[in-house]
Chain A
């Protein structure tokens, strides 16, 4: 039974099409992340689900009820904003109770709900303070609390962690995940940070230009991206793209300026191994070096051009068939500029894209 259904929703601002007949189903208790670069329409979609923007076409269902024309307060949603959006003149308690007072709930019910939310989020000592006297992390907790007290089935998060520094962001990320496991309600979470998306989501919807490019589990999106955009957007450091040609036939191979990569281990899509121009994508972490490379089906020698130490590992840049290729190396392995190293990878874990449309082959 789906919790949120978006059916053929379009949204135009004047002549600009922000959402293009978009369809989406979110299951009960699912954590769905809308991921994409700025301007892809992910926040707009969330605002449409919340009822803060009127859709130009289509319908929105929440808990099997058509809420397309309903006010935000009547949709059974709670929302958390990027800038926290706490009412500055009210105390934390006032912020939490504002919505409940508007709904004319009895006083003791309000008190119970606030106490429960404050306990879950551990903000009890802050209840009498004003938002100005809180740190960024505390403010975001209160903002989450404001959604929590509404006692709703669907939580909407609009880039809630983007205003926090890196350390707090990873802390709160874990807390949101914990909260989801505890409450087990539906959450729709907008972000442009692919690490947040990968760590939090049950499913990710990667968006671009008002269209969902791929909707799948984080693992599927990571290992089998449907097009070059998704492949490049997910993963850090980004995927390597090598331009060349697919040579079809009985033993398909990828030909990049004379260097041949056999594709017998590659799972082709429905179209099969068509010949023609293509882009070969391989993630830096799937390129092995040294002994590990020897075990790989494809092996090549490259010269090291740039070394980027990142602490946990080192990113090394070299040239493969005259094109840039990066790969990850353990920190312990000393690699310096000018070295010739042997690398290897498994084409079975790589991705092939059409050179023109960028679709997965």
Chain B
């Protein structure tokens, strides 16, 4: 009896071994296949291409002038000094003013924050109205608004100067904030309209049956569901407005120059020695804000998109 069971078990094992002889489970992949070498090789070369200039900037900004004059731009600093960073932030001169970049930084903050808040607030309401409260002429309104995105900025520079002058806003911060808010409108409205259109229409109908009005639905139903698109809009606007040079230089007086304009003035000043280390540090400082925004909200962004993908 025991023998029989054993035989049976053996036979069973044999059939199982037969079945397992052929391909089974996941197909094995070699770590160093031609495909992998090609993919990772390309990725490494491309990232080198982009990271090398950054490396040179960081390294140079940490060197003293004598070391820079030796000409080895790729070599790491022998003696690390933060002097150029301090100088760039607090002492670098533009014209007669020697307060460094700090003034431009705060100007940029005072321009960017209200512009971002204002443009996103208005554009999200625009998009919501266009997506959910279809009014007469909505399509024409939308078309005109989108058309604004395709008109080159240069064409509008001078007319806006006149407009701002007539409104008494030329040269100050408020004028520039207004310009930034208006120019963010087409693309942001498109962004929000498309997002709100993608939300289920029945949700909006249910809220109407529940007695919520225009603002009630916007604040209590739509806003809480729209975190991902707000993050996208914030990234777009913060980087766009912070990096803007053209509007900043055209519509403000030197006292209110944003950081980018001031950076240009520091780097391109023709008097005296070219302080490469200070220039590099100033450039890095100016680029820091968009970088931080990318790193911080990038994560939020991905999380927001992932949360939005799960149907509610």
Contacts and interface: CB of A to CB of B under 8 A. Distances in A.
Interface of A: 47, 50-52, 71-73, 77-79, 81-83, 85-89, 98-99, 102-103, 131-132, 146, 150, 158
B141 to A, nearest CB: 18
B312 A132 contact: yes
A73 B310 contact: no
B253 interface: no
B207 A87 contact: yes
Q: Specify which of B210, B220, B312 lies most central, judged by the most chain A CB atoms within 10 Å of its CB.
A: B210
Interface in B283-312: 310, 312
Contacts of A132: 310, 312
Contacts of B113: none
A52 B209 contact: yes
A47 B202 CA distance: 11
Interface in B197-212: 200, 202-203, 205-212
A102 B211 contact: yes
A131 B206 CA distance: 15
Contacts of B310: 132
20 contacts: A50-B205, A52-B208, A72-B205, A72-B211, A77-B209, A78-B209, A85-B200, A85-B203, A85-B206, A86-B206, A86-B312, A87-B207, A89-B224, A89-B225, A98-B210, A102-B216, A103-B211, A131-B312, A132-B310, A158-B202
B121 interface: no
B181 to A, nearest CB: 28
A69 B205 CA distance: 16
B232 to A, nearest CB: 19
B210 A146 contact: yes
A31 to B, nearest CB: 20
B73 interface: no
Q: State which size class the interface on B falls in.
A: 10 to 19
Given A47-B205, A82-B202, A131-B312, 16 more contacts: A50-B205, A50-B209, A78-B209, A79-B206, A79-B209, A81-B206, A85-B200, A85-B203, A86-B312, A87-B203, A87-B207, A87-B220, A88-B312, A99-B209, A103-B211, A132-B312
A79 B200 CA distance: 16
B202 A85 contact: yes
By secondary structure, the B interface counts as helix
Contacts, number: 64
Contact of B205 (A85, A87, A98, A146): A85
Nearest to B206: A85
A4 B37 CA distance: 72
Contacts of B207: 87, 98
B205 A81 contact: yes
B221 interface: yes
Contact of A99 (B202, B205, B210, B224): B210
Contacts of A50: 205, 209
Contacts of A89: 224-225, 312
Interface string B212-245: 1000100011001100000000000000000000
B210 A81 contact: no
B195 to A, nearest CB: 15
Contacts of A47: 205
B210 A102 contact: yes
A193 B213 CA distance: 34
A108 B309 CA distance: 37
A51 B206 CA distance: 11
Q: Specify which of B209, B220, B225, B310 lies most central, judged by the most chain A CB atoms within 10 Å of its CB.
A: B209
Contacts of A158: 202
A72 B210 CA distance: 8
Nearest to B308: A88
A103 B310 CA distance: 31
Contacts of A85: 200, 202-203, 205-206
A73 B208 contact: yes
